[in-house]
């Protein structure tokens, strides 16, 4: 149907998935030409817009998968437990030790074949006898890989540029002797007859061998306004809005799945360790030193971290720590929500919500919310997108189930068209409140459930209460 120029008021379709947020924030309208030429141009732009949305969605999905990390088989000893271990007698170190699993980017030192144990300390072996660990003997590992013995004529390993550690084989073969950079002092000495064991740069620590990983420090009363237009003139682009929301939701769901499978499943709990457990001391300047739990020194508390590798032997897992919310959080939920239409109805539609925020306390969190949804009613379509802030308070706990309340406020954009629905849109404040429950799955992953009320202002006044419900995952 042709119309006169300037007779219709509408909104543009989203050009990209990211334009959802921009459109919600702006709410600007423009005039649409009613000629057949204008309609043809609009259809071409809509097709191009849909193609761009699909391309961007695929690109975003691929980016999420590429950037997602994998969990490593190394575990960092918690700082508080490291202090306890170092302060205990060597033979009494171990037991239940709190650790946190690392990412694969922090590779296991023993994965690198160039690591041959030459930078190991002199250590002691402890044997469990009569209910306690007793010191057995002193040894110093010299070479832990094949074909790495020092030639009979001796050999030299130059120090890395800028200082570090140089190694040289003793004449006639035997254990290598290490010399530190100029101005450095001896760190430790081996058993009689083996000579000096190690020397490091001033400030402590030992330069790593080549290849060793490095780390740097209900019902509503909607009213039809003067701007309402016949439903046969689809000028609001509701179909395009729904496509954009679905594409954005697909990316968010993929990101949530990856995050839950990595960060959410990281082991954060206790291991049963013995004094003989091999550990790696990672210094701030990047070097890695191999030793045992019993041989850790007070100076190791100043190191970047002390880690354990699963490749050094089977580990005994004692159990994960309880759910810990403190810190940043990401939440993704899906469910249903009632939304107002210009015909005065509040039909129930599908809805998804993504949240990111921070929990300064175990029971208190503040999150930014972005939600979207839509549905069909009276032969037409309706859509809604909202953004705002939410406060979560979860003071109750029974075993692994936590309970509390939530409250939020912000702005929402809604539109409807098609069938017997009046074509109308709004961009006005909303309020939400209800009950929130969470079941902890791991220390960093929880199953969230919510039910509550939604109040939307349209035409300058709030409509009667509408309902909402959803469930999803929260990664801390």
Report d(CA 413, CA 28) in Å as an integer: 11
Does residue 246 lie in a domain region? no
Is position 402 within any domain?
Answer: no
Q: What is the pLDDT of residues 40-50, one digit of tens each?
A: 444 544 544 55
pLDDT given at position 70:
84
Let me know if residue 298 belongs to a domain. Answer: yes
Does 229 have pLDDT greater than 70?
no
- How far apart are alpha carbons 146 and 112 in whole angstroms? 13
Nearest C-alpha neighbor of 294 from the set 133, 141, 186: 133
Mean local confidence (pLDDT), 105-129: 53
Judged against a pLDDT cut of 90, whether residue 447 lies above it is answered with yes
Residue 338 lies in a domain: no
Model confidence at 286, pLDDT cuts 50, 70, 90, reads confident
Quick check: is 228 in a domain?
Answer: no
What confidence tier does 332 reach under pLDDT thresholds 50, 70, 90?
Answer: very high
Q: Could you tell me which of 440, 355, 439, 433 has the C-alpha nearest to residue 393?
A: 433
Range of the domain at 290: 71-145+163-215+264-320
Query: Is residue 426 domain-resident?
Result: no
Q: What is the mean pLDDT of the segment spanning 351-374? A: 98
* 3-state helix/strand/coil string of the chain: CCCCCCCCEECCCCCCCCHHHHHHHHCCCEECCCCHHHHHHHHHHHHHHHHHHHHHHHHHHHHHHHHCCCEEEEEEECHHHHHHHHHCCHHHCCEEEEEEEEECCCCCHHHCCCCCCCCECCEEEEEEECCEEEEEEEECCCCCCCCCCCCCCCCEECCCCCCCCEEEECCCCCCEEEECCCCCCEEEECCCCCCEEEECCCCCCCCCCCCCCCCCCCCCCCCCCCCCECCCCCCCCHHHHHHHHHHHHHHHHHHHHHHHHCHHHCCEEEEEECCCCEEEEECCCCCEEEEECCCCCHHHHHCCEEEEEHHHCCCEEEEECCCCCCEEEEEEEEEEEECCCCCCCCCEEEEEEEEEEEEEECCEEEEEEEEEEEEEECCEEEEEEEEEEEEEEEEEEECCEEEEEEEEEEEEEEEEECCCCCEEEEEEEEEEEEEEEEEECCCCEEEEEEEEEEEEEECCEECCCEEEEEEEEEEC
Q: Is pLDDT of 320 > 80? A: yes
Q: How many domains does the chain have?
A: 1
286 φψ region: left (φ > 0), alpha (ψ -120 to 50), beta (else): left
Which range has the top average pLDDT, 55-69, 99-113, 123-137, 397-411?
397-411
Per-residue model confidence as pLDDT tens digits over 376-406: 999 999 999 999 999 999 999 999 999 999 9
Confidence of residue 240 (pLDDT cuts 50, 70, 90): confident
Query: Which of 470, 233, 238 has the alpha carbon at shortest distance from 377?
Result: 238
The answer to whether residue 26 is domain-embedded is no
Residue range 338-360: average pLDDT?
A: 96
The pLDDT value recorded for residue 128 is: 63
Decide: 13 and 238 in contact? Cβ < 8 Å.
no
Residue 465 clears pLDDT 70, i.e. is over it: yes
Could you give the percent of the chain with pLDDT greater than 90?
Answer: 52
Q: What's residue 376's pLDDT?
A: 93
| Mean pLDDT value across the chain | 73
pLDDT at 158: 34
Q: Which of 67-76, 170-179, 418-427 has the highest mean pLDDT?
A: 418-427
Q: Which of 459, 460, 427, 423 is nearest to 7 (CA)?
A: 423
Residue 202: inside a domain = yes
First to last CA, the chain: 53
Across residues 347-375, what is the average pLDDT?
Answer: 97
Residue 75 to residue 308: CA distance in whole angstroms: 5
pLDDT for residue 95 is more than 90: yes
């Amino acid at each position: 149907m042709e119309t006169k120029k300037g007779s219709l008021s509408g909104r543009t379709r989203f050009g990209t998935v990211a334009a959802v947020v921009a459109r919600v924030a702006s709410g600007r309208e423009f005039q649409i030409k009613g000629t057949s030429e204008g309609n043809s141009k609009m259809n071409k732009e809509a097709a191009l817009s849909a193609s761009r949305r699909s391309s961007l969605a695929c690109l975003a999905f691929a980016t999420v998968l590429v950037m997602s990390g994998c969990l490593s088989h190394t575990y960092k000893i918690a700082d508080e437990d490291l202090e306890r271990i170092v302060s205990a007698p060597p033979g009494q170190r171990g037991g239940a030790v709190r650790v946190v699993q690392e990412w694969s980017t922090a590779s296991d030192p023993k994965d690198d074949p160039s690591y041959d144990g030459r930078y190991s300390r002199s250590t002691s072996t402890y044997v469990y006898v009569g209910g306690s660990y007793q010191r057995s003997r002193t040894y110093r590992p010299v070479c832990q890989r094949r074909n790495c013995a020092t030639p009979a004529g001796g050999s030299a390993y130059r120090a890395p540029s800028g200082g570090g550690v140089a190694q040289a084989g003793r004449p006639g073969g035997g254990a290598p002797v290490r010399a530190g950079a100029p101005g450095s002092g001896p760190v430790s000495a081996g058993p009689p007859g083996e000579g000096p064991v190690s020397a490091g740069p001033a400030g402590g620590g030992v330069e790593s061998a080549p290849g060793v990983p490095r780390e740097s420090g209900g019902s509503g009363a909607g009213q039809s306004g003067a701007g309402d237009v016949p439903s046969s003139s689809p000028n609001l682009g509701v179909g395009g809005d729904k496509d954009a929301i679905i594409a954005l939701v697909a990316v968010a769901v993929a990101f949530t799945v990856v995050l839950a499978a990595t960060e959410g499943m990281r082991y954060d709990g206790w291991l049963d360790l013995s004094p003989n457990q091999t550990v790696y001391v990672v210094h701030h300047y990047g070097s890695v030193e191999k030793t045992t739990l019993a041989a850790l020194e007070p100076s190791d508390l100043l190191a970047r971290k002390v880690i354990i590798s699963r490749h050094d032997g089977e580990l005994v897992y004692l159990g994960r720590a309880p759910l810990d919310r403190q810190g940043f959080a990401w939440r993704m939920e899906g469910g249903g929500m009632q939304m107002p239409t210009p015909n005065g109805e509040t039909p129930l539609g599908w809805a998804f919500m993504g949240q990111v925020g921070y929990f300064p306390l175990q029971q208190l969190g503040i999150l930014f919310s972005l939600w979207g949804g839509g549905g069909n009613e009276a032969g037409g379509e309706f859509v809604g997108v909202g953004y705002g802030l939410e406060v979560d308070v979860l003071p109750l706990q029974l075993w692994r189930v936590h309970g509390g309340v939530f409250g939020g406020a912000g702005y929402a954009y809604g539109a409807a068209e098609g069938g017997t629905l009046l074509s109308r849109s709004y961009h006005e404040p909303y309020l939400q409140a209800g009950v929130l429950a969470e079941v902890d799955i791991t220390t960093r992953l929880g199953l969230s459930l919510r039910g509550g009320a939604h109040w939307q202002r349209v035409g300058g006044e709030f409509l009667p209460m509408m309902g909402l419900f959803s469930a999803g995952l929260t990664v801390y």
